[in-house]
Amino acid sequence: MRADRVYAYGAALGFLGDLLAGDPRRGHPVAAFGRAAGALETRMWRNDRLSGAAYAALCAGAVTGAAALAGRAVRPSAALSAGLTAACTWSVLGGTSLAREARAVAAALDAGDIEAARARLPHLCGRDPQHLDADQIARAVVESVAENTSDAVVGALVWGAALGLPGLAGFRAVNTLDAMVGHRSPRHLRFGWAAARLDDAAGWPGARLTATLAALASAHPLDALRTWHRDAAAHPSPNAGPVEAAFAGALRLRLGGTLSYAGRTEHRPLLGAHYPAPTPADIPRAITLSRRVSALALALSLIPALLPRGDHPAPRPVLHRRTALLRFPPLRRKEFPLPRPASAAREAADRRSAFFPPRRREATRRGPAVPNVPHPPFRTRREAP
């Protein structure tokens, strides 16, 4: 079976596993990587960019190399390759957990429990929820759903379709490092610079694909494209800007504005300024759009692998045992029809001639070959002595 088809089957199974089960509460591979990366940070931390670059390269390179070695080890078995791909895809994707956390915040807001919604919001983003009201929490949830649709689903599928298991695992490692050290706190302003730039580069194709699919999957594709084109460049993030702007136009909501991270306040430009602000009732709409985008991204990443290929490998020359001639195996009769022999006798004769050259067949009929020895001259009776 083709390697790309094995990956396609495994990725589809992994996507289905994430859709049905989501992330486990304990023992998640990404959480284990985060603990190992955090322990390594305490040893490698220096207040300079070079140390941060070495840290990011070591963490991401180790995960990518381990995934490549594991994929190479199970390559001879299609079943093991598909199983490993399914397990890796399930551990990398986070669409179901994203929707579950967003629904939990929406349920708390619908019940009027603002304190429960504030306590639940840090599971989605790193904003300070203490002074947020219900509409501000709803805006934070919609923006987090939009951004994490690219980071937790679409970006991983893009790199998996391009590089297989190393692409899946490497993208998740880079994205996790950015969440750990890529922010602009005093400790990580210089140390996390390399991880943040690496995440920007890795997330660039997934963010553009997410914005495009958000426009296609929504009821207002032109509004999504206009808002993306007009407002995305003003966003400080090169990847979150297109995604959030496309979601703002697709949902016809106003995103952006003032927010607070780790005790510091940021004033971000508005995305879709002429639309109304989000309310708790808009959170399910954002979740639905996110699920549609995820399904379209999976289909786009798997369709090329499932399409039949038109090219066929050329027949390899085979050394015939008896004739010691270089022959080519016949082409498939279904694709390249060959003329059939006139009768069964002709077919048997052609088969015999392929094994026995004509001279050898005639020599076999007359008996053993006689050496070419000159005969004595023939004499008549008159010439006899």
Q: What is the mean pLDDT of the chain?
A: 84
Mean pLDDT of 301-325: 62
**pLDDT tens digits for range 49-66:** 999 999 999 999 999 999
Statement: residue 324 has pLDDT above 50: no
Place of tokens 């004509």: 358
In a domain, 49, yes or no: yes
Residue 368 lies in a domain: no
The answer to the question of residue 326 being in a domain is no
Q: Is the pLDDT of residue 333 over 50?
A: no
| High-pLDDT (> 70) share of the chain, % | 79
Of 233-242, 303-312, 328-337, give the range with the top mean pLDDT: 233-242
- 315 in a domain, yes or no? no
CB 245 within 8 A of CB 147: no
Domain that holds residue 54: 3-306
**Distance between CA atoms of residues 295 and 298, nearest Å:** 5
The predicted structure's pLDDT at residue 295: 96
* Alpha-carbon distances of 328 from 9, 76, 316, 364, rounded to whole Å: 35, 28, 7, 27
Give whole-number Cα distances, 212 to 95, 225, 250, 256, in Å: 18, 8, 11, 20
Domain membership flag for residue 332: no
- CA distance linking residue 150 with residue 371, whole number of Å: 85
| Each residue's pLDDT tens digit, 269-293 | 899 999 999 999 999 999 999 999 9
What pLDDT sits at residue 219?
A: 92
DSSP secondary structure of 177-202: HHHHH-S--TTTTTTTHHHHHHHHHH
Residues with Cβ within 8 Å of residue 38, at least 6 apart in sequence: 180
Is position 348 within any domain? no
**pLDDT number for residue 342:** 55
Express each pLDDT in 158-188 by its tens digit.
999 999 999 999 999 999 999 999 888 889 9
Please tell me the total count of domains within the chain: 1
Residue 172 lies inside a defined structural domain of this protein: yes
Q: pLDDT digit string (tens) for 117-129?
A: 999 998 888 788 8
Residue 14 lies in a domain: yes
Give the span between the Cα atoms of 134 and 106, in whole angstroms: 10
